[in-house]
Amino acid sequence: MAGTNKPRALVSMMAAAMLCSSCSLVGPDYVKPESKVESKWIYQSSPEISQRTAELSTWWKIFNDPVLDRLIAEARQQNLSLQVAGTRILEARAQLGIVTSTEYPQLQQANGDLSRQQISAFAPNTREGIDRNFASAGIGFDMGWELDIWGKFRRGVQSSVANLEASVAGYDDVLVSLTAEVARTYVLIRTSEARIQVARENVKIQERTLEIAKALFAGGLINELDYLQAESLLNNTRATIPPLEAALRQAKNGLSVLLGKTPGAIDSYLTESRPIPDVPAQVAIGVPADLLRRRPDIRLAERQLATQSALIGVAKADLYPHFSLLGSISLRASDAALTYASVGGSTLGQLFNAKSFQYFIGPSISWDIFNYGRITNQVRVEDARFQSLVGVYRNTVLNAAKEAEDATAGFLNAQKQRDDLQLSFAAAKRSTELSLYQYSEGLVDYQRVLDSQRTLAGSQEALTITTGNIAINLIALYKAVGGGWETRTEKDFVPEAIKKEMRERTNWGKLMQPKQLDLLEQDNSKKWRFPDW
């Protein structure tokens, strides 16, 4: 009768373990901190800015530039920093699998041994006739399960899930920055090309002026000073071209690296000269509150908060007793000469005899009563880290709003500057034409020509730079509002070629399959999530 109660006792223990594992969790439940965001932009009344809901997933297409579209598409496929961010997601997935496994019996271990030994004749409790030289063999299975009474392991899973979500947000943040940097570098390339073209046009104008001055000097109509000033201005203008060409080369090299290519590899993309990308009359950027949802760095900071919050509970659980369920079953035999009537002798061959079976099972409790404040102070450490991350999160929100407002100010004021420079350039161009004509007729001295050509070159250079700055500030604005990451939801985080390489080294199971972010959110009804075995 007693034997029939053993399975019932085992089942009762297992049921108690399952029940205890659903007990309440110690430590704080995570609550997203409040962070103040204005309801409207500072420049909301500007006609160039619209607060309507914006479609920002492919914002670069507003420039209507197929070369830029191609560059961004290749950068998203080949950029090495983005690939690093993608592999960190795989790392976080695997880490979640490790932490999830702690919710199951932590020790499940098969074992076996075969040994031969000799006992000293002078060992305690030895006596005449005992077999001191014998072999022993055994096989068995041990199990140890620390019950999650206080939610230590469940808090660990919460922390790991939030860390995985943070790694996804980190990937999105890299994607936003990469897209903006490719577009910005492309605009710099087109701006440098335009500035070189402007310099060359001014060289041609000044070459004609020098020819006139040379002819007048040869005819004795002007002195040598006018001729030397004309030559000096021309050479100074020519000297501006090499630095511009160097900057152009450097921008192209930077763009090559962004695309995961060696310097010079993208030159074939840029053989055809194109103007600086133009911007639309009005751009839609939504409202400031959208930053909390759209900016990946804000989501990253918030998920890091959630990760740390759960670690407070993990540390706090160590303040309480640890309850475990331990068990072992095994078969063991020996060839010792000592025999018993009930057994009829013993040999290693009887290892699999039913009478070689042995087991133990039972609960265990341990409690770090005297830890000299180690556990309490660890809880304090985790709480302090959480509070510091609250400050990081709120500061990230503030900086996001600042970056958006700064980019808006730059975008709007660059357009105003361009309008004034266009008027200045038109006047300088006409002034140069008149001064050169009057100089050739001997009506004005060369200083008037020199001043007008310097003014023309300066206003044309400033106009070109400002035109590029308008596009660059708009790119900064789209980056500031978090545009450009949404397109990744249709693709996986790591290129197939890299996944193939990793699979050849390691069995990754199902962890490399794409997962949407909403599938990662914690669901208490699915606490027993299965790790990928």
Gyration radius of the chain over CA positions: 38
User: What values do phi and psi take at 34, rounded to 5?
Assistant: -75, 145
> In angstroms, rounded to a whole number, what is the distance separating the alpha carbons of residues 27 and 24?
10
DSSP H or E segment with residue 215: helix 152-218
- pLDDT of 514 reads 62
455 located within any domain = yes
Best CA proximity match to 96, nearest among 511, 519, 488:
511
Rounded (10°) angle between helices 80-100 and 152-218: 170
**C-alpha span between 26 and 19 (Å, rounded):** 16
pLDDT at 49: 82
Across the chain, which has 533 residues, the per-10-residue mean pLDDT values are 51 54 79 85 82 81 94 93 92 89 86 86 73 84 88 91 92 94 96 94 88 81 80 91 95 95 91 89 82 89 95 93 89 71 64 84 88 90 96 94 92 93 92 84 80 89 94 93 78 84 89 57 45 61
Beta strand pairing call for 133-146 and 283-284: unpaired
* Tokens at 445, concatenated: 């001295």
Range of the domain at 306: 38-110+153-320+376-483
Measured in whole angstroms, the distance separating CA 40 from the mean position of its chain's CA atoms is 29
Q: Are 495 and 75 in contact (CB under 8 A)?
A: no
Give 344's Cβ-side CA count (13 Å radius).
4
**319 vs 297: CA distance, rounded Å:** 35
**Residue 401 within a domain:** yes
Question: Quick one: pLDDT at residue 61?
Answer: 92
Which residues does 532 contact at the CB level (< 8 Å), separation at least 6? 97, 509, 510, 511
Length of the chain: 533
H or E segment at 359?
Answer: strand 357-366
Q: Per the structure block, which two tokens stand in for 227?
A: 């001729």
**Which CATH number covers residue 212?**
1.20.1600.10
Domain for residue 222, yes or no?
A: yes
Three-class SS state of 371: coil
Q: What's the domain count of the chain?
A: 1
Helix pair angle (66-78, 152-218), 10° resolution: 140
Q: How far is residue 33 CA from its own chain's centroid? A: 22
User: What is the token pair recorded at 28?
Assistant: 């704080």
Q: Is residue 116 part of a domain?
A: no
Residue 103 in any domain: the answer is yes
Residue 334 belongs to a domain: no
Give the Cβ contact number of residue 296 at 10 Å.
20
pLDDT at 120: 78
Q: Residue 347 has what pLDDT?
A: 80
Is residue 351 in a domain? Answer: no
> What is the reported pLDDT for 518?
42
In a domain? residue 52: yes
